[in-house]
A and B are shown apart, each in its own frame.
Chain A
Amino acid sequence: MLREYILIALNNLKRRKLRSWLTVIGIVIGISAIVSLTLIAQGTENAVNAAFEEFGTDVILVQGGTAFGPPTPGEYGLKNRDINFFESFGETDIVIPYVYDTQEVEYKSEKKYPIVYAIDTEFWAEFLGRSNFEVERGRNFQDGETGSVIIGWKLNHDYFEKKIDLKSRIKVGGKTFKVIGIYERIGNDADDTSIAMSIDDARKIFAPANKVTGAQIIVKEGVDIEKFAEELEEDYEDYRGDKNFILSTSTAILEQINNILGIIQYVIVGIAGIALIVGAVGIANTMYMSVLERTKEIGIMKSIGATNKAIMTIFLIESAFFGVVGGIIGSIIGILMALGAKYAIEAFSPGLPFLILIDPYVVGGAILFSAIAGILSGILPARAASKLNPVDALRYE
């Protein structure tokens, strides 16, 4: 019997094509906003997770500095004896100390001040494998190599007026270096303008001989990193005698970022939800108008045996139709919008693995949600239609 009522309802909708589509558009806007924003938020989360996966979950980052935040370039908060302490601590596998600072870089008489990173070339492969950086052209450092630099993508493009290329010679802090490698594009200026060199070279130019900015501590396989980090933090604080350092594990940072992303997601989806509510009010409005216009028709149907339930069902099918069709079209548009955003983001930040997965739960949920919104906004008008007195309704012109 439902099939018959659906046919009657569809026939009614067809009679008011323009108004039906305008009502559907109201829902389409709300649902497409919800679907696209949810998928984009999930994509961001995927990108962050992927970046952290690369960094590894067996790494603890220690940075020396003030107690209030991460060190600024040129701040050297860890001493060599601190590095020795980490190396001898429990289940530590390797410790990779690093320094970074902004340095005067000169190329063909033009001077700029980008960030210069430096680590021990012995750990170069280990460091690179855990970073976003990848050498696109040229080669990596060899163990113990000095006098060479690897440059960010932008230096090979438009950072300086004249393009720096492989085998170019640039001056860093007054000393001449040969360019042996160029990174692929990361997508943010800080990374794309950076320069990497060996820590021995850095010590000759800007870094103090017995201090570093921070260190990556890689623990042995199978070690509970959170527990290890906790013990390390406690013992290191005793050893150091102050709390002027930041110790973080990648999992803890990831958790924090995911929490923040989760909140952002709720907020934007909430805002998109308001658009859906506006759409639902549109459905209610259309349905009330429809009841008014079809009062006589309702009277006729009642006079030939339609029960209140039958009338209510027909009207609810109509309002559910607005929700379902709006939900389906909205989901399709939402997916397209999310894919568009993915391509836009990737064009600006090619290194970011921005992964949009068309989550069936998001899409199915959106359509279901939309159908429920349609039915809910149809309940009152449908009730009003079903409660009409047949004699009065028949008299209505």
Chain B
Amino acid sequence: MTNPIISLKKVWKIYDMGDSKIYANRNISLDINKNEIVFIVGKSGSGKSTLLNMIGSLDYPSRGKIFLDGINISSLTESDLAQIRGSKIGFVFQSFNLINSMTALENVMLPMTFQEIPVEEKIKRAKKLLNKVDLNHRLNNLPTELSGGERQRVAVARSLANNPEVIIADEPTGNLDTKTGKMIMNLFNEINKEGKTIIIVTHDLDLVKRTSEHKIYKIVDGEIN
């Protein structure tokens, strides 16, 4: 039996709105194995992003436990969580979320800064990653000078900066045209072949169909269907 890299045990996320309570996620248990591609699909408002945030250690569950590589991340302090996030998880967002005042190269270097990696090493790695996503000619461009597809490729390069085990992508093709979206998906497939676990939240079922081997979780009203 394979050891799961991510394991959720009876996870709930409940928002207390004063008089009423909103159950964003209910009693979710799932295992994600190393080197898998996992899709989490569902309508908007179904609770898939909330779940992704918890898997990505951006948020704590209200109840239940989440294990990342055997560590119970639901009991960690905020600082430890940040540390884990920085070293074990790479994020790719729908709206790219690059820092606009920094060049492509600096954006890719930033996660390494928070892991206290020496400057020369950072530059070397960032250049290599940008080369991997075919952006070696755009190193010193600001995000505002890049196209949507180029920005998302910078974001993918950034997610790989600290060589994390898991890449978490929240609607990574949502703001891109079909062709560019396809290119980004190919990139994820490639990364997956190199041994990374990829978790993608999407409502685009075409995206799922185009991916050969994958696991899929459908969320309806906060529960896995």
Q: Are B79 and A309 closer than 8 Å at their CB atoms?
A: yes
Nearest CB of chain A from residue B121's CB, rounded to whole Å? 12
Indicate whether A18 reaches chain B with its CB closer than 8 angstroms.
no
Determine if A307 is an interface residue (Cβ-Cβ < 8 Å). yes
Residues of B within 8 A of A8 (CB): 113
Residues of A within 8 A of B140 (CB): none
**B59, A301: Cβ atoms under 8 Å?**
no
The digit string for B97-114, where 1 denotes a CB below 8 A from any CB of A, is 111011000000011011
A300: interface (CB < 8 Å): yes
Collect the chain B residues with CB atoms within 8 Å of residue A301's CB.
Answer: 99, 110, 114
Complex Cα gap A394–B53 (Å):
11
Partner of B99, one of A297, A389, A390: A297
> Are A394 and B113 interface neighbours, CB within 8 A?
no
Assuming the contacts A4-B113, A11-B102, A310-B114, asked whether A304 and B91 have C-beta atoms less than 8 A apart, the reply is: yes
B115 touching A303 by the CB < 8 A rule?
no
Interface size on B, residues (CB 8 A): 29
Chain B residues near A310 (CB-CB < 8 A): 82, 114
Q: Is the CB of B116 within 8 A of A15?
A: no
In chain A, positions 366-397 with a C-beta closer than 8 Å to chain B are: 389-391, 394
Interface residues on A, range: 20 to 34
Query: How far, in Å, is A254 (CB) from chain B's closest CB?
Result: 59
Give the residues in chain B near A297, CB-CB below 8 Å.
99
> In the docked arrangement, what's the CA distance between A394 and B56, Å?
13
1/0 per residue, CB under 8 A from B, across A301-327: the answer is 111111111100000000000000000
Which residues of chain A have C-beta atoms less than 8 A from B78's C-beta?
A: 307-308
- Complex CA distance for A301 and B181, rounded to whole angstroms: 25
What are 25 A-to-B residue pairs whose CB atoms are below 8 Å? A1-B116, A4-B119, A300-B99, A301-B99, A301-B110, A301-B114, A302-B85, A303-B56, A303-B91, A304-B86, A304-B90, A304-B91, A304-B110, A305-B82, A305-B87, A306-B82, A306-B86, A306-B114, A307-B79, A307-B83, A308-B79, A389-B59, A390-B58, A390-B59, A391-B53
- Please give the residue numbers on chain B whose beta carbons come within 8 Å of chain A beta carbons, in ascending order: 53, 56, 58-59, 78-79, 82-83, 85-87, 90-91, 93, 97-99, 101-102, 110-111, 113-116, 119, 158, 161-162
